[in-house]
Chain A
Amino acid sequence: MSQLGMINEIWLVSPLLILTAGAVAVLLIDVFLQRAWPGGLFTGFVLVAAMYTSNYLFLGEKFLPGQRIFHNLLYADRLSAFALGLFLCASIFVVLLAHEKLKQEKVEAAGEYYSLLLMTTIGAIIFASAGELITMFLGLETMSMALYCLCGSALTVRASSESALKYFLLGSFSSAFMLYGIALLYGLTGTTLIPELAAKLAGMDSTVLYIAIGLVLIGFLFKISAVPFHFWAPDVYQGAPTTITAYMATVIKASAVIALLRFIWGAVPGQAASWTGAMWTLAVITMTVGNLIALRQRSVKRMLAYSSIAHAGYMMVAMQVDPVLQGGGAAILYYLVAYTAMSLGAFAVVLVVASANPGEPDADEITRFNALAQSRPFLAATMALFMLGLAGIPPGMAGLLGKFYIFSSAVQAGFVGLAIIGVLNSAISAYYYLRVIVAMYFIEPQGDEVVEKPELGVGIAGILALCSIGVVALGVFPSALHDSARVTVQSFVNPTSLEITVEQMKAQPRPEFNLSLP
């Protein structure tokens, strides 16, 4: 929308500009001060500044439905604002974790680490708010390339460079498929703008079109680690520094999911009938394979990697549902926030436990969690809450409600079989989540074993407390988040409809969660 004017457009991307300036500044300051400065605090400050501007803009109602800036290359709509808030929040938490535990992670080059972390965040924001497929690809590559380096940032740890190599080779392989799909879509329509694509593809039905959509979906499904494109996930999650694993499981996954929603509901909604069938199968095998393999993992980090695959499967269930009428979109956005809070907290605990034996390959084994409730009661209690949340058992209410919204939207759309498979999968997943709780509370350490007491800093304790409050509060008072998620989705899928406020949305029926449900 060119009537906005250049100044206003720049104002709308000011969070991105702040992050870019911050990323360059961190690198330069680090060179001049020769690493003798608190880079983590500065990076946190940059992220908070970006958060402040974006919040200020958001409250100023400048992110309008369907609004596009810079010659339609970027969306500045409510979904972008949602992505901005979620990613910046999660990044601040990850930077705080890194600030306290970077030494134990064996990352020597702190300046590069923080600079790359800011660049990844920039890429993630562009990926999730792109209004055009080439921009989307560029956002994806910006995000991924900084992330490949971050995975290998623990230079002295052998597993770290191995995970960087695996992620790099498989990641660029899958994005080449995505690019080929974009080229074919461009050939069919002559445009790469998302709404124009939808208009030109309406009613089109050809083999090339389905091949193109399939190729683009391969790129997305790789990033959200859906089976059968998941082979990288466990290795990379385990080998990368734990702070980066936490970042991948939250920001990167959320960014890929939001971009995927923009693609399937923005660019190819007319072809929904063709990809929902494939999505049904992929959702089932993603949930099942993720949960079944997670059962036999000894490393908690690797177990959480498989659990993250399974959670991608739950979100794929709601992707086949009508985003507005049957509540699929709001269910996914709610689930993303809930999953981010739970897995950030869980990875923070793993980080603290593993930092007792820095650099050892088995530092995150489940046996290291034995009797944690005696040595670190607070740590054990929060971990138990996150595990219950991921399994969807009270008092981890956010996880429970997230699953409820997803499966109820599936039932509403007539996918009863899919919902039943999903619920069975949650039951399977409870086994491996509860195993961690059993280790922490009911297993005594072996007699001659010296139990290292993991060190818990103030910052990490704060993060754990905030995540715990989030997991409980989001579930007990879900209406605020769920209503704003519904408005967000409605204004994205149907931007021409009249602006709907949260107050009006509250008047519409919302699936109510009732504990007396069977």
Chain B
Amino acid sequence: MVPTSFYLTLSAVVFTIGAIGVMVRRNAIVVFMCIELMLNAVNLSFVALSRSTGNLHGQVAVFFVMVVAAAEAAVGLAIIIAFFRSKHSVETTDASELNL
């Protein structure tokens, strides 16, 4: 049996890749995909930990996270389209009307 720590390490690596992607990439759709990557990394953790702790709460949590990710995709892409309509671009660098 593959030890839980392997899954957790993989999950941490994927989560980190997602987090770095959000900070480095400038295309809103790619940033959004990186966020989905982070959520799925957490799902992997949940399933692995569910096996190691011996109850099913973690597996159930994954379903909820998947629903949240799907809803996020619907809302997020709609927002990106609305943004594209007003600026003709999906680059986050073009979101500069309101200055920090």
Contact = CB atoms under 8 A, between A and B. Distances in A.
Interface stretch (A180-188, A410-418, A452-460): A180-188
A52 interface: no
B81 to A, nearest CB: 9
The prevalent SS among residues of A at the interface is: helix
A77 interface: no
Contact of B75 (A148, A158, A191, A238): A148
Nearest to B52: A187
Nearest to A208: B8
B53 A190 contact: yes
Nearest to B94: A162
Interface in A171-219: 172-173, 176-177, 179-180, 182-184, 186-187, 189-192
B46 A183 contact: yes
B79 A152 contact: yes
A180 B83 CA distance: 29
Given A161-B85, A173-B22, A239 B28 contact: no
Give the one of A137, A165, A231 with max B CB within 10 A.
A165
B8 to A, nearest CB: 8
A168 interface: yes
A234 B97 CA distance: 12
A248 B39 CA distance: 25
A148 B31 CA distance: 16
Given A162-B97, A176-B18, A138 B45 contact: no
A162 B83 contact: yes
A164 B76 CA distance: 9
Contacts of B24: none
Contacts of A166: 95, 98
A100 interface: no
A502 B36 CA distance: 48
Contacts of A148: 75-76, 79
Given A134-B64, A149-B78, A180-B38, A158 B97 contact: yes
Given A138-B68, A161-B85, A173-B35, A180 B15 contact: yes
B10 interface: no
A164 B79 contact: yes
Interface in B62-79: 64-65, 68, 71-72, 75-76, 78-79
B40 to A, nearest CB: 10
A325 interface: no
Nearest to A193: B57
B65 A186 contact: no
A294 to B, nearest CB: 14
B82 interface: yes
Interface string A154-169: 0100110111111011
A163 B100 contact: no
B68 A141 contact: yes
Contacts of B68: 137-138, 141
Contacts of B57: 186, 190-192
A300 to B, nearest CB: 15
A235 interface: yes
A18 interface: no
B35 A141 contact: no
Contacts of B58: 183, 186-187
B42 interface: yes
B77 to A, nearest CB: 10
Contact of A187 (B15, B39, B53, B71): B53
Given A141-B68, A176-B18, A187-B52, 20 more contacts: A137-B68, A138-B64, A138-B68, A148-B79, A155-B85, A161-B87, A164-B83, A166-B95, A168-B75, A169-B32, A176-B15, A176-B38, A183-B46, A183-B61, A186-B57, A186-B58, A190-B55, A192-B61, A231-B100, A239-B97
Closest 7 CB pairs of A and B: A187-B49, A190-B53, A176-B38, A235-B98, A183-B45, A161-B82, A165-B83
